[in-house]
Amino acid sequence: MTPTAAEYAARQEIPVAQVKTRAPRPKIVGSDSPEPPFPISLVGPVQKGFGRGGKDLGCPTANLPDDSITPISSVAKTGVYYGYAQVIPPQESRGDFQTDDLNVLPMVMSLGWNPFYKNKVLTAEIHIMHNFQSDFYGYEMRAIVLGYIRPELDYVSREALIEDIEIDKQVALNCLQRPAYQVYAKDSHFQHQEELKASM
């Protein structure tokens, strides 16, 4: 059985799968409904990461603190995942957000060490598929991880990495179109518009 991300971290090992071929990737992955260990709920304040996602890759990410990722790192292997996420700004900052910014939105998440950048620390980096107009460092983020897309890979070029990231996003959106996955956008783990309006 493949070790979990937490087991690799405890051993101070970094698993790397080499990119051998550029075979066409499937446009949808997994079963028609989430299977164990999914769904996995995560919550924590957004931390500053390495600042590479938006600048280098056109894919800005939000990092969760180490203690927030235990629910997934303790049961899942490293790789790329999909699900839903929501940023919940403090009440005094909600006026800076557009209404759409407060929605539960599709996301892709990388759990691991990002071999292309040779990270030394296990991270969970979430890319929410939405164009936010402002940063939200320190704000609470909630996520539900619903499925696995692919392993972490080491790439020969940044262009190859960007290509796979774009495919990851499309795969995630395709997977989340399935009815059994869509219901999680309304899960009680998230705060919905009525609750947010009531607290404003």
Catalytic residues: 125
**Cβ(89)–Cβ(103) below 8 Å:** no
- Residue corresponding to tokens 């557009």: 98
The answer to whether the beta carbons of residues 142 and 190 sit under 8 Å apart is yes
Q: How far apart are CA 129 and CA 107, in angstroms?
A: 6
